[in-house]
Amino acid sequence: MKTEKLKLAILDMNNDEPNQGLRCIAEIAHVFTDDVSIQIFNVRAKQELPDTSFDIYISSGGPGSPLEEGEWRKPYLQLMQNLWDINKTNAEQKKHVFFICYSFQVICDYFQLGAIKPRRSTSFGILKVHQTKKGHNDLIFEGLNDPFYAVDSRDWQLIQPKLTVFKKQGATILSLEKIRTHVELERAIMAVRFSEEFVGTQFHPEAEPVSMEAYFNREENKKKVIDSFGKEKYAQMMDRIDDPDKVALTYKTILPKFIQNAIIKNKQPVMS
């Protein structure tokens, strides 16, 4: 008997703008190359999309409005609907999908889970993320502290969850921006499990601390952060990058656990 590799598609949503996230996603995925083959698709800039034969899909963050009506949008959402439908009808081979930041906002809008609105100001830095009760029991957070720390970089947010839609779909809120019980519905939602196979985060679980530190130590990048957010925010971010219990722990936990779980659930021995 031999074991056939699963297929993993990385959906690049960066619209050809320079970024670190795509490289980090690919580096995490390549840890699992004994079990998966990897292919990258440039969705927004080139309208490249995989078919439904892949087993695992990771859809990246990206710039701009998650509500934009680009040429890529309809085919992208149709692919996601097709994968969702396959999971509903196929008891054996499931399609596992992870959505990051921009992609998370796009799919939450598609599922009509709440209001996707611009923030008054950009949320940027290494910030606390609080788990909900459901989040405490979710495999992607297993081993993380509560609150844990993650890289946040966004101008938009999911707020005002439609709890009846969540219930009907079977979706659950896994984490929140901060605990403010007196304004519960205005807290930004930071992670959602849409189904057993579909999950996403508003933050960037792929952010890798060593390359982040090198990137933000460059004078031109340091200046951009200080000019936009101030010296205190820059100092806080650089201090948290070095902490093994913050970004490094999140990086080693969430996406690796998602991929490993998909491999365990889907990998089947085939006769040679």
The size of the chain, in residues, is 272
Please state at what angle helix 21-30 crosses helix 247-266, rounded to 10 degrees.
50
Rounded average pLDDT over 7-20: 94
Coil/strand/helix, residue 216? helix
Question: What is this structure's pTM?
Answer: 0.91
Q: DSSP labels for 219-246? A: HHHHHHHHHHH-HHHHHHHHHHHT-TTT
264 forms bridges with which residues in the sheet? none
pLDDT tens for 182-238 read 544 477 999 999 999 999 999 999 999 888 888 888 888 888 889 888 898 889 888
Count Cβ atoms within 10 A of the Cβ of residue 183 and give its class: 0-12 exposed, 13-18 middle, 19 or more buried.
exposed
pLDDT tens for 89-145 read 987 889 999 999 999 999 999 999 999 999 887 888 888 999 999 999 999 999 999
Alpha-carbon span 258 to 193, nearest angstrom:
12
pLDDT tens for 36-60 read 999 999 999 999 999 999 999 999 9
Give yes or no for residue 159 having a pLDDT over 90: yes
Contact call for residues 214 and 257 (beta carbons, < 8 A): no
- Those residues whose C-beta lies under 8 Å from the C-beta of residue 85, and which sit 6 or more positions away, are none
pLDDT band at 270 (very low <50, low <70, confident <90, very high): very low
